[in-house]
Chains A and B, each alone.
Chain A
Amino acid sequence: MYRGMPKKCDKLQVEIMKKNIPAIIIFAISVASLSYIMVATHVYSDVKEKIVSVLCLSCIKMDPKTVLEFRFETADGEDFPEFVLENLSKGPVFLHFRIDVCPACDEMDPIIGEIFDIDDIEKTILVKTKNFSGVKVTLIHINLDHAGGTFRDAYRSFDISKSGSVPMYTIVTLGYDRGIVKPCYATGYSFLGESSPVKAKKILVEMIKNAVELYRINREGY
């Protein structure tokens, strides 16, 4: 490799050149591998969609203040998602959104499991129906990191804080608005402003009870 070098080049210079070789090799390998990863894998979109765009509330260390009021207009102004409306004919729909890496979601998953009698909630998409005071409530558990566009759109429709954060819970039920029975929803986040998952459970149960009551009152007109 050094055959072509001038003879006057002394040992010290050779030594310095040798020392630069590892840097050049590492640089070349790193750039080549990085380019390959960017082009041949989904790493760019994974970082954009799963890390930068949707935030875990344990990362922010704060929760959007929860005011569990029922609204008729979606957060993005779009219609209610079709899969929600289909299930709404049977009863209120409880949507639970999470992502893969989210300690707050990990803490709240068992709570959702307890409410809906599910042992293992660690699935990408899970649908479960449970009877609350004679009204069927459908849980749709959605892991946004693995969910398709429909579910991501649904998430944006119900993200009232527009913070793009999880865990997020939305209950869709029926409400009465200026003479018409229409779908309405309430959204809460993370620990719902409480200091622990156990306390948050009480609020979630209350949220479901209110939705069931509204559904019972309004289902005749839907």
Chain B
Amino acid sequence: MTTPLLQIKDLKAEIAGKEILHGVNLSVPKGEVHAIMGPNGSGKSTLSYVLAGKTDYDVTGGEVLLDGTDILGMPADERAAAGLFLAFQYPMEIPGVTTMTFLRAAMNAQRKKRGEPELSSPEILRRVRSEAEKLGIDPEMLRRPVNVGFSGGEKKRAETLQMSLLDPRFCVLDETDSGLDIDALKVVADGVNRLRSPERSMIVITHYQRLLDYIVPDVVHVFSKGRIVRTGGKELALELEANGYAEYVVEEAA
């Protein structure tokens, strides 16, 4: 059997001395999409930030292997260059930096770190326009500062655009459905589904089952109180939708 693309082993992390992740174990093989569902405050977003390398969190134990390499010692930019992509629940607004400048900087920084030649501005423009068109992104948006004045739907489309341009091996989608109406959700889900391939894996973090109607997972994990408490097939999402998370919350509290 081949090594899973992502392996999380007994991952523990805390913020300001308070432990949030109490030993997470998860393996995602190549080509699979795993959903992580759980109640608010269970630590789902913390897991995504710790994977991406946000320095607010202190990792106190465990390992995260991307294609066999431990990424926990790498700063966020090196993890990105190694092929990890976090689609933010709340993408940041960056006044004064145009979307195009940002995309060019990101694409070329990653290529540089991987020892690949940088792309010319016309080539980047061509790629960006072509991907933007698939996501129904107005070219005017590319000239505006990153996410500034974007609607919730536009921000998530912009995240999906970044994801497709940066061509990551492993994607973590944090509550991609939050703030989206059903039409925007379909556009974003289509964008994500286009990126599914035998070579790429994803973790889709969500509170609701709705997103999983559009991005159908191979495996569903239930996350509660900082660890994975149950794992099943996609039908588990429907069960959670019907019964809620009460079972898991109560169990933990008891």
- Is B truly associated with A? no
A residues with CB within 8 A of B: none
